Amino acid sequence: MDGMNGTTPQLSVVIPCLNEAARLPLLLADLQRSATVPEILLADGGSSDATPEIADLTGAGLIRIHPAGRGRQLRVAAAEAHGDWLLFLHADSRLSAQWSRVLTTLMQGSSASRSAWYFDLRINPSTPARRLLEKGVNLRSRWLQRPYGDQGLMLHRSLYQRCGGFAELPLMEDLDLVERLSRISDLRRIGLPLTTDGRRWQAEGVLRRSWRNACLRWRWRRGESAELLAKRYYRT
């Protein structure tokens, strides 16, 4: 897909999705609030809801990927993107009003392509426990350079290719990528929040959900397969 004026787009936005029709329009509306609308690619894992219709109405490119798997969806869509820069976002994310201006300025920096860039985590709706989680995640991202997928990731295509891109993992694809990126580049703050839907913390609560995620990460680093961990993750 070419840019809105038929030229090669500077930025391609890749969004993995599976039955996210209820939330996806909000993110797509945020992306449309730009003087130069980026190339938008929906990496769809076989949605049975209105996701294809939403893509058609908004002009987003729809890439159907089977079998589903977030790492596979991201990898396939990134290979089809045309932009010099790639921005990976989750479908339940919301961008701030300043995103286009700030990212355009950032991409024009002479040394920006040497680093990968991430947003600060914000969870909606906010609660005291979620605000504490946001602070912990954002501090961890700064100190350890290990942002999560909920924080988005923007990087130049050349850097993405140098690190090998997303692996076709059903889980932990975000941590796998940033660990490889951290060996060859810095991971830096964009300086804007990226708001994510708090539904995942609604049922379990912040502490229980955070503990479960930490245990999954620990098991993955100990060598357990992402496939086995994904079965445990999506079963609960």
Burial of residue 227 (CB within 10 Å: 0-12, 13-18, 19+) is exposed
Domain that holds residue 116: 11-203
What's the whole-model pTM score? 0.91
Which whole-number Å values give the CA distances from 102 to 21, 70, 129, 135, 223, in the listed order?
28, 27, 29, 22, 39
Q: Which pLDDT does position 216 carry in this prediction?
A: 83
Please check whether residue 126 lies inside any domain of the structure. yes
Neighbours of 204 (CB within 10 A): 13
Please enumerate in sequence order all residues whose Cβ is within 8 A of that of 33, keeping only pairs 6 or more positions apart, or say none: 97, 100
CATH number at residue 118: 3.90.550.10
Please check whether residue 144 lies inside any domain of the structure. yes
| Residues forming a β-bridge with 194 | 95, 121
Q: Does the pLDDT of residue 223 top 80, yes or no?
A: yes
Q: Does the pLDDT of residue 189 top 80, yes or no?
A: yes
Please check whether residue 25 lies inside any domain of the structure. yes
Q: Which pLDDT does position 3 carry in this prediction?
A: 40
Give me the percent of the chain exceeding a pLDDT of 90. Answer: 72
Contact 89, 171 (CB under 8 A): no
Please check whether residue 230 lies inside any domain of the structure. no
Which whole-number Å values give the CA distances from 207 to 128, 144, 233, in the listed order?
12, 21, 16
Q: Which pLDDT does position 159 carry in this prediction?
A: 98
Taking residues 103-123, what's their average pLDDT?
A: 94
Please check whether residue 212 lies inside any domain of the structure. no
Please check whether residue 220 lies inside any domain of the structure. no
Please check whether residue 234 lies inside any domain of the structure. no
Q: How many domains does the chain have?
A: 1
Pick from 30, 33, 31, 38: nearest CA to 4 = 38
Please check whether residue 57 lies inside any domain of the structure. yes
